[in-house]
Structure 1
Amino acid sequence: MKQFGVIGLGRFGITVARALAKKGLQVIAVDSDEEKVRIASEFATVAVQLDATDTTSLQKVGLKDVDAAIVAVGEDISASILVTMICKDFGIPMVISKATDPLQGKILAKIGADRVVFPERDMGEKLAESLASPGIFDYISVSKDYSIVELSAPTTFCGKTIGEVNIRAKYGVTLIAIKHKIPGIDERGEPTFTEDIIIAPTSKDEIATGDTLVLLGKVK
């Protein structure tokens, strides 16, 4: 089973640690704050309060043996750099470091971080994209050139098959999934909706009112 180390349990770190634990993966969670460690202990395999810049302490909790380390101490630039260097010296196969600004990101990349993430910036861009584009529920950048969006099916598409709409030829995007809302009634007689997802729909699949289209396209 893969094992992950999460160093720094702020909002970003604790979210990553919890998400990994929910997937049944082993998580070593580390922070100097007692309360944050207590919260992480509820779901992490190991949760330890220690100074993340202390190489010996990190070795003792098994961080040297993880498959990937997430360095989430972005607010403290010096600590972020030092912990990233320690993780690389440990020989951890994948070191992902959080940065709060481009300069810090460049430094982390220079000292060997395999991947640098900007949670606040990325979330801000994602929110701005959804606010600026009515009908877009979600927006995910998958690379420098491509993004995935979840878009409410336009009324002109409803009642037509994918072949009839011809999305790829007309709009230059690929439809990778359709989310259908299926109406139903719960135990109390109240109306409910369940979601049915068609992955890689064919040209014969029909788009219905209320559907959500999951599209992959090139960023312009």
Structure 2
Amino acid sequence: MRKVAVVGLGRFGMAVARQLAAANVQVVAVDTDRELIEDIKDDVSLAVVLDSTDEIAFRSQDLHKVDVLVVAIGENFEAALLTAVLGRKLNIPQVICRASTSVHAKIFRQVGATEVIQPETETGHQLARRLANPFLEDFFDLGEGFTLIELKSPSAFRGKTLRDLNLRARYNVNLVAIRRTVMVSSADGETTRKESLAVPQPDAVIEAEDTLVLIGANEDLARLPKE
């Protein structure tokens, strides 16, 4: 199971932590404010009052062993920056930083953040959904609890036909299209890669590089394989 540390429990951090936890991701919530920790402790795997810039304290909670570090500290840029630097120093695979300005975003990138989020372009709920399923490439909220998603083909689906998978019966979701890269030869013999989008037939076989376009209720989509 993926383990994500969310440091900073403002509106953005709370949204990320709670939605990840709801998606059965192991979440460690961190803040210096005890009231915020009390507010979220029943929703996540672990909630700790901690100075995330202190390496000894950071290691004491095994935060250096997480798969993803989300730095969502909003008002103290220095603390956010030092936390990001510490995450990179400790070789955490993904360090994602929330930046309130374009200048802050640039600085985060300069110190090695793997991704920078600005709230005007992505909400905490959207980030959580991406982190909960690394195969999720894009999604569109259709309202009333339904979403259209673009999902990298899970390993459990590869090499199987749609008839074998029976997605409608097994997951209560509909596969509406398959996005696939194909090799196309031109008249002069040159071969180029071209992306195609096709309505799948029952005997279509899912390939490793396919992107599946699916639609369904959010709770049903959440049951799809995540690896």
Q: TM-score, normalised by structure 2?
A: 0.56
**Counterpart position of 2:176:** 200
The answer to whether the Cα contact below 8 Å between 1:6 and 1:17 also exists between their aligned partners in 2 is yes
Residue 147 (structure 1) shift: 7.8
User: After the TM superposition, which segments of 4 or more aligned residues of structure 1 sit over 6 Å from their partners?
Assistant: none
Q: Secondary structure at the match of 2:12?
A: helix
The aligned amino acid for 1:68 is: V
Could you tell me how far apart the structure 2 residues matched to 1:5 and 1:176 are? 25
1:40 equivalent in alignment to 2:15: no
| 1:2-28 CA-partner distances (Å, limit 9, x unpaired) | 111111111111111111111112111
Residue 76 (structure 1) shift: 1.5
| 1:106-132 CA-partner distances (Å, limit 9, x unpaired) | 000000000000124545xx9xxxxxx
The aligned amino acid for 2:75 is: E
1:110–1:40 CA distance, 2 compared to 1 (3 A): same
Could you tell me how far apart the structure 1 residues matched to 2:141 and 2:17 are? 26
Higher RCO (CA-CA < 8 Å; seq separation 6+): 2
1:84 equivalent in alignment to 2:84: yes
Matches within 5 A, 1:179-190: none
| 1:176-214 CA-partner distances (Å, limit 9, x unpaired) | 89xxxxxxxxxxxxxxxxxx863315869xxxxxxxxx8
- Say which one has the larger Rg: 1
Could you tell me how far apart the structure 2 residues matched to 1:94 and 1:86 are? 12
RMSD: 3.1
| 1:58-116 CA-partner distances (Å, limit 9, x unpaired) | 11011010011000013321111110001111110010000001100000000000000
The aligned amino acid for 1:46 is: L
**Where do 5+ consecutive residues of structure 2 fail to align?**
127-136, 151-171, 178-197, 201-214, 216-227
The aligned amino acid for 1:199 is: L
Q: TM-score, normalised by structure 1?
A: 0.58
Matches within 5 A, 1:95-106: 95-106=95-106
Q: Between the two proteins, what is the percent identity of the paired residues? A: 35
The aligned amino acid for 2:17 is: A
The answer to whether the Cα contact below 8 Å between 1:176 and 1:200 also exists between their aligned partners in 2 is no
The number of residues matched between the two structures is: 146
**Where do 5+ consecutive residues of structure 1 fail to align?**
127-145, 153-174, 178-195, 205-213, 215-220
**Counterpart position of 1:218:** none
